[in-house]
Chain A
Amino acid sequence: MSHDEKTPETPGPAALHGLLAEYDTPAGILAASQKIRDAGYSRWDTFTPFPVHGIDKAMGIKMTVLPWIVLGAGLSGLATAIALQWYTNTFDYKWLISGKPFFSIPANVPIMFELTVLFAGITALVAMLVLNNLPLPSHPLDFVRRFARSTDDRFFLLIEAADPKFDEESTKALLEGTHPAAVETVKEDNVTSNKLPKVLIYGVVILTVIATVPFALAAKARHATSKQTRIHAVLDMDAQPKYKAQRRNPVYADGRSTRLPDPDTVAVGDLREDSHFYRGKMNGGWARTFPPQVRLEDATMKRGQERFGIYCQPCHGVGGEGNGMVAKRAEELQQGTWVPPTNLTQDYLRQMAVGELFNTITNGIRNMPAYGPQITTEDRWAIIMYLRALQRGHASKTAGLPPATGGTN
């Protein structure tokens, strides 16, 4: 749309589109607008590089209907949000989330607000464009070279020849009475075609048709069955070479994957020959030493302390004395059925073999559940290592401690 290059090329005079006046100040165009408005013209407009303050009134422009359209769109956004959340979480697939009602209005408010704003905002732009008749690819004014400054620093006023009051001479005189910088005639645009370029039409049609293909394929796929497995782009360990519960197992005659272990077999890794390590037994009795796999070093002690804190401390207490939070709470409740956790620092437990302690942790005792499933074998030994430290600490007297820690050694 360069104003340098387009010139009417057709032979014969193009019809008159209108008269264009140019002004170089906002005051000028305001005054001119008032005159044209008062003269009773209806098909005319001004063109300014920015919205001139007061020109709405000067031209007699009425308030647009746009705000109402936007309000309507906002309300429909609100309705959509309510309907969406009600339908999905309350009607179609009800599911409880932390005890909240199916239709939780407080939880639904944020999205209600967002969709209201979204619909209203998009509508503001689209309605503005539609009401403004945009996009407007061509206009007779594009042929007027000086009009390029309408987006720069000059103000223009155009009275169209189609206006009932238009008369080339008297209108021109009226315009010149408003002291413009220049007055020009604007010819109709009989060069640019009125029709959309064929490329555009074909392109849009073809693209629309192509765009329906994925939806059609999806619809077909939803309603048809297929022997082929679906396309699975990111495997993400989905197809694992192992037998799952309901899967066919060709190894066995009955084809079942779910079965009891075969007699006289043990799963790989389940043999657990090392009685010392896995069961705390040595030579038919409880082991009194730690198994060689357990490294008696600082890291193990720290691990034991951490694991003790997680698993044992709630009942047995931080110091192992049987006064953990759970125990205290149970006493408060005084239900009568509570068996207090053992005070692990008692002498008989100091004497007890580590293997027996290991067995208690693994299999439980009295009301204490089995912790074997929860705690790995290594960790259980680490806990016992820490427990020994606790027991020793509890039994020690200040006499045996180095002076730096307050002892009287």
Chain B
Amino acid sequence: MAAATDINPFVNPPAGDNAFARITDNISRIAEVDKPPRAWYIAFAAALGLLSLFLVSVGYLFWEGIGIYGNMMPVAWGFPIVNFVFWIGIGHAGTLISAILFLLRQGWRTAINRFAEAMTIFAVICAGIFPGIHIGRPWLPYYMMPIPNQMEMWPQFRSPLEWDIFAVSTYATISIVFWYMGMIPDFATFRDRATTFWRRLAYGIVAMGWRGSSRQWHRYERAYLLLAALATPLVLSVHSVVSFDFATSQIPGWHTTIFPPYFVAGAIFGGFAMVVTLAVPARQFFGLKRIITIKHLELMNKVLIATGLLVGYAYGMEFFVAWYSGNEYEVFTFVNRAFGPYAWAYWTMITCNVVSPQLHWFKSVRTSPLATLLIGMVINVGMWFERFVIICTSLARDFLPSSWGYYIPTMWDFMTLAGSFGLFFTLFLLFCRYLPMVAMAEVKAFHPAAHAHAEHH
């Protein structure tokens, strides 16, 4: 099988005399072609640039210390934690698409679940770095794990920050397990199409010798279902535990019982926004328009409306109960968010999160790839601002007016944030180039040609 030179299916249609073969070719040749499309090189160069920025920023942070950031009393938790929550949130959409949509038997997920899961893993990697680097002594993160040590001390399990360690580690592990398991049959396809020894060896090792035996498929499918059933409550729990970081405190604006489902809804919202932000260029530049269709974009945009409204509901409930509670600090917090020194951040958040997704009520908007891309990016900005507003406004002005302050991030804060996008996109582009970008076996299984009923029924 000679490698196709051009992966654009409208120029060079996928080879194959039946639907399954065409699916295989359409997706496999992305990884087999000698040179990836030019857009990939441009994107990769930009991503590498941002990644270097990230490495420089983190390196300087380790050298100089946390003082280079804007964290200062009263806002002792600034960009690093906002970025952490932001990235973890982005990861949630991948698991939702993989696990929850699987349990809900939504066949359309098969076109996007592979790269959404990849996105999850890379987002969790980006997220996990921030707690590690913002703790002041980044060579001691093992203190957070229950490892017997010479001080005979243990982590404090009653702290939500410790729950975070377990939740995020579990989430990373299970996401990788789920992602890898999903890729085994596709690695086998790559292995069987490989033309060079090294490709055959590499894909062969990770394919574990998979040959598609139905007896193996039976156990595989059971394992897949079980992982989906496990990943569903897991994804709900992870961002709930992250929300516990804030909700277990007594600070007005943080301590409110709706935080767990509110954060989860927000995470799915932001995550889906990132998925569509990636899906639009991916389908454009990797020739996947027939697999990731406009219908897929439309369905994802509908999920954006739904989750955006859930987030809006939570905003509304917080606001109402803050008044209802009669607690003057709560009332002040919400008035302060809207009209205090951070009002610019608050209204950015409202515009991006509550107003912009409503555009998708219009069919013309939600079926337009460009509008999808733009609104997706706007929502990502809005979700970042949501975490910023929650964290910084509540800390900047809490109970005692004499303790109030204003948080000013430094350029290192911004560079680290921008750089984290570099890490994310570098990993993602490498994934696109070398790994099966779409779950071929699953797409085939949901293709109409796969549903043959035997004659005896």
Chain A residues with CB under 8 Å of chain B are 1-3, 24-27, 30-31, 33-34, 45-56, 58-59, 61, 63-64, 66-67, 70, 74, 84-85, 88-89, 92-93, 95, 97, 100, 104, 107-108, 110-111, 113-115, 117-118, 120-122, 124-125, 127-129, 131-132, 134-139, 141, 147-153, 222, 233-234, 236, 306, 309-310, 313
Contacts and interface: CB of A to CB of B under 8 A. Distances in A.
Interface string B420-457: 00000000000000000000111011000111111110
Given A56-B214, A153-B24, A97 B445 contact: no
Contacts of A30: 452, 454
Contact of B217 (A51, A118, A131): A51
Nearest to A3: B192
A125 B157 contact: no
Contacts of B397: none
Contact of B215 (A27, A45, A63, A93): A45
A27 B454 contact: yes
B55 interface: no
Interface string B188-214: 110111110000100011001111111
Given A26-B451, A93-B152, 7 more contacts: A49-B20, A59-B215, A92-B152, A128-B181, A132-B215, A151-B24, A152-B193
Given A50-B445, A117-B234, A151 B209 contact: no
Nearest to B17: A153
Interface stretch (B38-46, B224-232, B290-298, B358-366): B224-232
Contacts, number: 245
Given A89-B154, A134-B210, A120 B450 contact: no
Contacts of B455: 27, 31
A51 B445 contact: yes
Interface in B6-34: 16, 18, 20-21, 24
Nearest to A70: B226
A125 B146 CA distance: 25
Interface size on B, as a range, is 35 or more
Nearest to B400: A310
A121 B454 contact: no
A63 B219 CA distance: 8
Nearest to A86: B157
Contacts of B16: 153
A85 B157 CA distance: 7
Given A110-B237, A110-B244, A31 B454 contact: yes
B401 interface: yes
B223 interface: yes
Interface string B133-173: 00001010000001000101111111110110011011001
A140 to B, nearest CB: 11
B220 interface: yes
Given A1-B191, A27-B452, A89-B157, A310 B214 contact: no
A61 B220 CA distance: 13
> 6 shortest A-B CB distances, which residue pairs?
A27-B452, A136-B209, A153-B20, A88-B154, A128-B223, A50-B445
Nearest to A57: B454
B450 A114 contact: no
A337 B121 CA distance: 64
B177 interface: yes
Contacts of A309: 401-402
Contacts of A34: 454, 456
A175 to B, nearest CB: 16
B328 interface: no
B371 interface: no
Interface of B: 16, 18, 20-21, 24, 137, 139, 146, 150, 152-160, 162-163, 166-167, 169-170, 173-174, 177-178, 180-181, 185, 188-189, 191-195, 200, 204-205, 208-223, 226-227, 230-231, 233-234, 237, 240-241, 244, 401-403, 440-442, 444-445, 449-456
B163 to A, nearest CB: 4
B450 A107 contact: no
24 contacts: A24-B18, A26-B449, A31-B454, A34-B456, A46-B213, A47-B214, A48-B214, A58-B454, A64-B218, A70-B223, A89-B156, A89-B157, A95-B156, A108-B158, A111-B157, A117-B233, A120-B230, A124-B177, A132-B220, A137-B209, A139-B211, A150-B211, A151-B188, A236-B137
Contacts of B234: 114, 117, 121
Contacts of A113: 233, 237
Given A47-B213, A52-B450, A152 B157 contact: no
A177 to B, nearest CB: 14
Contacts of B454: 27, 30-31, 34, 54, 58
B211 A141 contact: yes
Given A117-B174, A117-B233, A111 B402 contact: no
B453 A92 contact: no
Summarize B's interface: helix, strand, loop or mixed: helix
Contacts of A233: 139
A118 B213 contact: no
B170 A117 contact: yes
Contact of A117 (B185, B217, B230, B453): B230
A152 B223 contact: no
A270 B456 CA distance: 101
Nearest to A95: B156
A46 B214 contact: yes
Which of B200, B213, B223 is packed against the most chain A CB atoms within 10 Å?
B223
Given A50-B185, A110-B241, A152-B20, A120 B212 contact: no
Which of B215, B440, B449 is packed against the most chain A CB atoms within 10 Å?
B215
A152 B192 contact: yes
A134 B213 contact: no
A151 B185 contact: yes
A121 B212 contact: no
Contacts of A132: 213, 215-216, 219-220
B189 A51 contact: no
A141 B213 CA distance: 11
A65 to B, nearest CB: 9
B192 A151 contact: yes
A55 B452 CA distance: 11
